[in-house]
Structure 1
Amino acid sequence: MRKLALSDDILLSVDKPARYIGGELNSRDKRLEDVDIRFVMCFPDVYEIGMSHIGMQIIYDMLNKREDIFCERLFSPWVDLDKILREKNIPLFSLESQENVKDADILGITLQYEMCYTNILQILELSQIPMYSKDRGEEYPIVIGGGPCSYNPEPLAPFFDIFYIGEGEVVYDKLLDLYKECKKNNLSKHEFLRKAAKLEGMYVPEFYEVSYKEDGTIASFTPKYEDVPSVVHRVVVQNMDTVSYLSKPVVPFIKVTQDRVVLEIMRGCIRGCRFCQAGNVYRPQREHSLEYLINYAKTMLDITGAEEISLSSLSSSDYSQLDKLLDFLLEYTKDRGINISLPSLRIDAFSLDVMSKVQDVKKSSLTFAPEAGTQRLRDVINKGITEEDILSGSMEAFKGGWNKVKLYFMLGLPTETEEDIKGIPLLCEKIAENYYSIPKDQRIGKVSITASSSFFVPKPFTPFQWAKMETEEEYLRRAHLVKDTFREQLNQKSMKYQYHDAEVTLLEGLMARGDRKIADVIVNAYKNGAMYDSWSDQFNMEYWLKAYEQTGIDPGFYTLRQRDLDEIFPWDFIDSGVTKEFLIREWKTAHEDKISPNCRQQCLGCGARKYNGGVCFEGKN
């Protein structure tokens, strides 16, 4: 029996002790003395969140298929265990071996969202690893960051040795082989990092120097050595079916946030929404074959015993073989009581044919994302759907047996007006009227429409990266205007409205758009008490306000200022696939209230084709 890092009395004193014991079905067990590399992979949030993330499961499975590597998992301890570890001076440990994280060769940390940044410092401190990479000697692990937030790694640059820019399946084998070679030849950490910096997709922050102008903007960003690349090119999988699918997913002991099988059907998106970072940095669209997905689905459902399977992509409606995949899933799950979830569907593509196929499947809420309340603003953001699409699509859904609809919007989008703001409840009212126009004997009770609005954050590598944000007071004014307008509608009792936290949004914007100076803000906020900032019951803005005072940083410089087109961004040294020229064209087109065709209609020359052998989608040039 494995020896646990925590005693029984500690485990019994914390909430959900199963978070910390490992040993789940399909978790790996290797002897440390039998492997060359101990790789601890961390998701800096609680177990239930991290174990819901398909990307972590994929990399865990992929690395453990190598006999020379033991990949273990690590999650942020909840605040109760955090306190105990500090009081008793117990070093943080990995789940599989229950050994100290600080003794690993490599600590890989996934960067999924900005509000987990203080938890990264928690992981390092509890592991008894120095926060700053410059203070870590040869005895400490190499710390690598990867994931969506690595497309602007600069606010975290002082804490990491390497950032992996791109999709995890591409370069990890080369990087780990290089580490083995350097370890075998007794090369120093610095020598390994010099070699790693030459691999495609690898960014080593300490090898780059940043200088600033008097106004605080970046003057230059240059490598310190001639053999270090001035531009870091992201890496992507070209042929999705070459990716070894997740054959043995770890089955958690406790219920996780998304307790379902996730079937990734494709990557990338053809749509070109101007606010969407993922839609740009994961270009071009690449699909799994139908055969691959059928085998994958069978394996995952049989192993996990899950009661739901979710089709994962940025725009599931655009998967070319969606009908055939659904035919298989409906037949395979028919007698097994398994629900099929279809997220990321475009309301215009949610045809009666697709809905009729899931008639016999439990109907949960339909989720659509119009993003804006008026057609003008939907054109500005290049959403590519009309009000007619929304109303006809929702009517088909109602006729198909649904009576619950969730709608997602954004407030604070570039060029937004009072009319656009009020358009959110007015659009919801039209949808409700649609439902009640159906004969009463054909309805299923009352319609339930839930509208949610987040506040817009201009993300790197989008056409809106030059845009400014609004103040907290202005965001709240707009949200209250939406709420008040909902109360004026005839069908207000059938509609609910909720909006995100404006303080958290502005903090997210600071970290998404920040440079290396923001690292000091993060450290000070963490030392003040900030942790689990994405959790509303843990978030405390006072910690951050104090950090601004301690560092002299004005957050408005990063959030409330519209950028000039020639300004150097902190992330400009990264080649994300789309060119800056393309993004500028789209920024200007947005201000003309015009839409751009999607990739299947016309190639706009975004630059992504060079990453896929000159091919963008479905084998067409």
Structure 2
Amino acid sequence: MNRTLEHILPRVQKPARYTGGEYNAVIKDRSRVDTRVALCFPDTYEIGMSNLGIRILYGVVNQMDGVWCERVFAPWGDMEEEMRRESIPLYGLESGDSIADFDIIGFSLGYEMAYTNVLNMLDLAGLPLRSAERTGLSPLVIAGGTCAFNAEPMAPFIDIFSLGEGEEVTVELVNLYRKAKEECWTKEELLIAAAQIPGLYVPSLYEVSYHDDGTVSAITPTHGAPATVTKRIVQDLDKSYFPTAPIVPSTEIVHDRVMLEVFRGCIRGCRFCQAGYAYRPVRSKSAGVLVRQGIESCQNSGYQEMTLSSLSTSDYRYLLDLCDGLQSWCDPNGVNLSLPSLRADNFSWSLMERLQHGRKSGLTFAPEAGTQRLRDVINKNVTEEDILSFCRTAFAGGWSTVKLYFMLGLPTETDEDVLGIADLAEKVYRIWREVTPNRSRGVKITVSTAFFVPKPHTAFQWEAQISRAEYERRVKLLRDHIRNRAIVYRWHDPETSLLEAVFARGDRRMAEVLECAWRKGAKLDTWNEYFDYGRWQEAFADCGVDPDFYAARVRDKEELLPWSVTSVGVRPAFLWREREQAYKAAITPDCRRQCTRCGADQLNPGSVCDAK
């Protein structure tokens, strides 16, 4: 650590965020490294260190001989102020070196509201924000994550986007860069070559034109770039890298535990869920591999808690065997095993008995909608009977805390659907009174509602988001109908969801708004302490952009969508058919019952969807 840094750390909150030196961090000899990679997460240390994708990519890249990957997180405001005052550039935690001197700078984009942090981190590194202004081969600025499936709002700032899972394609890109560096290629030569690697989208190689009404008229590839860039997936998860020696953070983080990824993808077909489509097809790990990885991760880190990670953990075919295998080691070693992402339609007594071994931290379930009609519209594939049976099993087993998640503003939602949320919560309370073995402990039922955001590459990508005023009316309607003191109601603020909808379906013109808002001081927008909606309203006005054009407008089937150059492997015709099914409130069976022919199983030659 340099002396200036030592001088300023006592003046900032949580200085351990900025020191590095954690157990299991990778330190390499600079003299034996020819390529340096900065793995950047555009949020604070506590959030970024909780991200399993960051942990995986960190290990994958550091396995490469001659390559050193370091972690970089967005500093909190007090630290940024000190860094700017003392002219300390953004640095890698492992070495303390400025990332401006690295070869590759990679950002993980999982949430649209982190975009301003990307710009802020580039500026803290002393680098031009726009790709066109960074003319040299290095540093090459790349990005991946779920948001890369509509890369357009960030396209002017990023050199290359990586679509899908990064374990294999990141290695290919790093090796291409090493070749370019050794042979003294220009940046343009590198970008043209990178566009030929499946899964890599180079936005500067595409020309976008617009109709007079503001919609996209054409997206034209140049220099031999492909017309469509399709995501990459890892087929065999048993053989792919998993970090069994995770870095042990030096300060408390959000998910301070071993996270064991059981499978990727989802057998369900929830029509609103971008992750459900983006991570298809379903690919599972074997229970034996998971048991070994879980035990090794605990032994190598000292963690006393392990959680099973996936989009829907209770859909894992071998869950009971996995729990038995893990608990035979966890119980005598004092390690708690937890299972988030449970489904109401397959939460069984036998599963609950296994969960009884650990502390009862509360159970979470997402019905998403308050009535069966609306649950059918979104293809949730769960009934009220499933939900109440889930709660009956949990309450009878001694649980007294349940969280229920819903969305407001879903397509076709009516006031009856909104009030159905209150009715369902009341029924859950009555179930508790009927079956709980200990009424004296009381019960806490938390109802949380989020503001629905239509996302690209989903069946609802064509839909309009309801207005802020209408969302707030529905919040009040629901709040006024929840009168039971045992039921706590929490709702998401509308402003960030409105912006999320704008950027989720925005085009390249949104980059002007983004940069304008950042120059007005927008940063750390995921945190209430820093978010200021007024800045964004000013930025939209200054740039002459109407946010409703992106958020509150229904798209026609024929409209060319800004993200049509990227593909998650699911056919657009399938998504449109699912939209039509939604308006009929018609159910599409889950992938395990019937293959829906969505196209994702054809991503890799010879690939197999485990859902079949």
Residues 371 and 410, structure 1, Cα contact 8 Å, conserved in 2: yes
Distance change (3 Å), C-alpha of 1:502 and 1:482: same
For 1:539, the equivalent position in structure 2 comes to 531
- 2:167 counterpart SS class: coil
Pairwise mapping of residues 164-179 of structure 1 onto structure 2 (< 5 A)? 164-179=162-177
- 1:345 counterpart SS class: coil
Q: Which amino acid aligns with 2:202?
A: V
Q: Is 1:80 equivalent to 2:78 in the alignment? A: yes
Q: 2:310 aligns with which of 313, 327, 343?
A: 313
CA positional deviation for 1:618 = 3.4
For 2:144, the equivalent position in structure 1 comes to 146
CA positional deviation for 1:137 = 2.3
- 2:365 counterpart SS class: strand
Q: TM-score, normalised by structure 1?
A: 0.97
Q: 1:465 aligns with which of 448, 461, 468?
A: 461
Distance 2:35 2:11 in 1: 34
Pairwise mapping of residues 436-451 of structure 1 onto structure 2 (< 5 A)? 436-438=433-435, 442-443=438-439, 445-451=441-447
CA positional deviation for 1:170 = 2.0
For 1:503, the equivalent position in structure 2 comes to 495
For 1:285, the equivalent position in structure 2 comes to 282
CA positional deviation for 1:239 = 1.1
CA positional deviation for 1:256 = 0.6
CA positional deviation for 1:247 = 2.7
For 2:474, the equivalent position in structure 1 comes to 478
- 1:241 counterpart SS class: coil
Distance 2:315 2:415 in 1: 33
- 2:218 counterpart SS class: strand
Q: Is 1:184 equivalent to 2:176 in the alignment? A: no
Distance 1:615 1:71 in 2: 30
Residues 445 and 487, structure 2, Cα contact 8 Å, conserved in 1: yes
CA positional deviation for 1:561 = 0.4
Q: Which amino acid aligns with 2:405?
A: Y
Residues 118 and 532, structure 1, Cα contact 8 Å, conserved in 2: yes
Q: Is 1:298 equivalent to 2:295 in the alignment? A: yes
For 1:108, the equivalent position in structure 2 comes to 106
Distance 2:490 2:73 in 1: 30
Residues 274 and 462, structure 1, Cα contact 8 Å, conserved in 2: yes
Residues 5 and 99, structure 1, Cα contact 8 Å, conserved in 2: no
Q: 1:232 aligns with which of 205, 229, 232?
A: 229
Distance 2:284 2:113 in 1: 31
Q: Which amino acid aligns with 1:577?
A: G
Residues 129 and 140, structure 1, Cα contact 8 Å, conserved in 2: no
For 2:406, the equivalent position in structure 1 comes to 409
Distance 1:618 1:88 in 2: 54
For 1:369, the equivalent position in structure 2 comes to 366
For 1:360, the equivalent position in structure 2 comes to 357
- 2:214 counterpart SS class: coil
For 2:515, the equivalent position in structure 1 comes to 523
Q: Is 1:63 equivalent to 2:55 in the alignment? A: no
Return 133-142 or 611-620, whichever deviates more.
611-620
CA positional deviation for 1:90 = 2.0
Residues 147 and 166, structure 1, Cα contact 8 Å, conserved in 2: yes
For 1:38, the equivalent position in structure 2 comes to 36
Residues 61 and 248, structure 1, Cα contact 8 Å, conserved in 2: no
CA positional deviation for 1:164 = 0.3
- 1:10 counterpart SS class: helix
Q: Which amino acid aligns with 2:434?
A: S
Q: 1:264 aligns with which of 254, 261, 264?
A: 261
- 1:539 counterpart SS class: coil
For 2:391, the equivalent position in structure 1 comes to 394
Return 370-379 or 338-347, whichever deviates more.
338-347
- 2:84 counterpart SS class: helix
Distance 2:137 2:184 in 1: 13
- 1:481 counterpart SS class: helix
Residues 4 and 21, structure 1, Cα contact 8 Å, conserved in 2: no
Distance change (3 Å), C-alpha of 1:331 and 1:93: same
Q: TM-score, normalised by structure 2?
A: 0.98
For 1:161, the equivalent position in structure 2 comes to 159
- 2:17 counterpart SS class: helix
Q: Which amino acid aligns with 2:203?
A: P
Distance 1:216 1:7 in 2: 48
Q: Deviations over 1:114-168 (max 9, x none)?
A: 1100000010000001000000121640000001100000000000000001101
Q: Which amino acid aligns with 1:252?
A: P
Distance 1:176 1:540 in 2: 38
Q: Deviations over 1:255-307 (max 9, x none)?
A: 11111110000000010000000100110100011121011001111111112
Distance 2:222 2:605 in 1: 32
Q: Which amino acid aligns with 1:27?
A: A
For 2:423, the equivalent position in structure 1 comes to 426
- 1:421 counterpart SS class: helix
Residues 284 and 612, structure 1, Cα contact 8 Å, conserved in 2: no
CA positional deviation for 1:238 = 0.9
- 1:215 counterpart SS class: coil
Q: 1:245 aligns with which of 239, 242, 248?
A: 242
Distance 1:333 1:459 in 2: 39
Q: Is 1:456 equivalent to 2:452 in the alignment? A: yes
- 1:565 counterpart SS class: coil
Q: Deviations over 1:407-434 (max 9, x none)?
A: 0000000000000000001000001011
CA positional deviation for 1:616 = 4.5
Residues 260 and 306, structure 1, Cα contact 8 Å, conserved in 2: yes
Distance change (3 Å), C-alpha of 1:191 and 1:513: same
CA positional deviation for 1:112 = 1.1
How many percent of aligned residue pairs carry the same amino acid? 47
CA positional deviation for 1:470 = 1.1
- Give the aligned CA root-mean-square deviation in angstroms: 1.3
Q: Which amino acid aligns with 2:87?
A: N
- 1:348 counterpart SS class: helix
Distance 1:223 1:612 in 2: 23
Residues 410 and 453, structure 1, Cα contact 8 Å, conserved in 2: yes
Q: Deviations over 1:59-118 (max 9, x none)?
A: 101111112100011000110111122223221111111111101000000001111000
Unaligned runs of 5+ in 2: none
Q: 1:595 aligns with which of 587, 590, 593?
A: 587
Distance 1:333 1:241 in 2: 22
Q: Is 1:134 equivalent to 2:132 in the alignment? A: yes
